[in-house]
Amino acid sequence: MLQHSFPVNRAELQALTEALWTEYQQQQNITSLIFYAYGTLRLAEQFTAENDVVRAAEYARTGFFYLDEAAERYENDPRVRYLRARVDAFLPAASGRCVIALNDTQFILDAAVTYQSAMLSKIIYMRYRALKNCRQFKQAAALLTRLKQQNPSLSSVVLTSDAAPEWDSSETTQILLPLARGKE
């Protein structure tokens, strides 16, 4: 799923999302719950694109509920907070979830966890997006300057894209695999 993202076909996406829910119910693995929430939010996007506002709202409400539920159950785990921030930081500003992304990224940065520089850059970038979406433009500009200084090769295309980036190996090894294995 990480290599190829979520399916675009609704039936396949629905089947995958339901399988993640079943897996979570059987194994109680928090990663399954988070990806169930991600899949549900993707279904909400599809219904929004079709102008099916009622179903879009239902799926979005469910997705955010379980995303927040996961973060509340594991509120002291920076990896879970990272996964929630990864969704919230790339939502449109109108969603109002930028405040949650700001709180999560601050929690992650304050946690006594040492991240590789690639991961730290991702966290800072998510925080930059959250600041921008919360209309805290001065802080966002200062953070963007810091991010560019730390990553001179960072493309301006990446910085202006509203799409969430593809998953990479640093996220897989530092966030996803330890959570899936249930390691602290």
In order of start, what are the domains of the chain with their CATH numbers?
A: 10-181 (1.25.40.10)
Q: Check: CB of residue 104 under 8 Å from CB of residue 88.
A: yes
First to last CA, the chain: 23
Kindly report, residue by residue over 88-146, the tens digit of the pLDDT: 998 878 788 999 999 999 999 999 788 888 888 889 999 999 999 999 999 999 999 98
Distance CA 42, CA 130 (A): 20
pLDDT-derived band at 156 (thresholds 50, 70, 90) equals low
pLDDT-derived band at 155 (thresholds 50, 70, 90) equals low
Enter the pTM of the model: 0.86
Query: In sequence order, which residues have a C-beta less than 8 Å from that of residue 99 and are 6 or more positions away?
Result: 130, 134
Nearest to 35 by CA among 12, 15, 63, 76: 63
Distance CA 50, CA 142 (A): 39
pLDDT at 75 over 90: yes
For residue 165, what are its two tokens?
């980036």
Q: Is 112 helix (H, G, I), strand (E, B) or coil?
A: coil
For residue 63, what are its two tokens?
């997705």
Distance CA 42, CA 180 (A): 21
Distance CA 95, CA 38 (A): 16
